[in-house]
Amino acid sequence: MSGEAFNPYRMAQQQFDNIAGQLGLDEATRQLLRAPDKEIRFSIPIRMDDDSFQVFRGFRIQHNCARGPCKGGIRFHPQETVDTVRALAMWMTWKTAVVDIPLGGGKGGVICDPHNLSPREQEALCRGWVRKIIDILGPDKDVPAPDVMTSSQHMLWMLDEYESITGRRAPGAITGKPIGLGGSLGRVESTGYGVVYVVREALGELGMRLEECTASVQGFGNVAQYAIELFQSYGGTVLAVSSWDQKQQSAVTFRRKEGVDLKQLRAMTNSYGEINREKASDAGYEVLPGDAWIEQEVDVLIPCALENQVNRDTVGGIKGSVRMVAEGANGPTTPAADAVIHEKGIRLLPDFLANAGGVTCSYFEQVQSNMNYFWTRDEVLAKLDTKMTDAYYSVSQMAQRRSIPMRDAAYMIAIARVAEACKLRGWV
107 catalytic residue (yes or no): yes
* Residue closest to 90 by CA, chosen among 130, 37, 53, 50: 37
Which residue in 346, 15, 373 sits closest to 182, CA to CA?
373
Distance between CA atoms of residues 34 and 16, nearest Å: 7
- The dihedral through the CA atoms of 287, 288, 293, 298 has a sign that is negative
Out of 71, 95, 107, 387, the active site residue is 107
- In Å, how far are 68, 327, 398 from 309, measured between CA atoms? 31, 10, 27
Q: Which of 110, 312, 299 is nearest to 209 (CA)?
A: 299
Residue 107, helix vs strand vs coil: strand
CA distance 314 to 295: 9
Torsion of CA 11, 17, 22, 26, to 10 degrees: 160
- Bridge pairing between strands 324-326 and 286-289: unpaired
- Please list the residues that pair with 217 across neighbouring strands: 241, 302
Q: Where are the beta strands (DSSP E) in 275-368?
A: 286-289, 300-303, 324-326, 347-349
Other beta carbons within 10 angstroms of residue 99's beta carbon come to 26
Q: Return d(Cα 358, Cα 61) in angstroms, integer.
A: 19
Strands of the sheet containing 300-303, edge to edge, are 286-289, 250-255, 237-245, 214-218, 300-303, 324-326, 347-349
Q: Is 184 left (phi over 0), alpha (psi -120 to 50) or beta?
A: beta
| Amino acid identity for residue 111 in this structure | I
- Buried/exposed 208-241: b ≥16 CB within 10 Å, e otherwise: bebeebbbbbbbbbbbbbbbbbbbbeeebbbbbb
Q: What order do you get walking across the sheet with 104-111 strand by strand? A: 38-47, 53-64, 104-111, 70-77, 142-146
Do the Cβ atoms of 125 and 80 come closer than 8 Å?
Answer: no
Please identify every residue annotated as catalytic.
Answer: 107
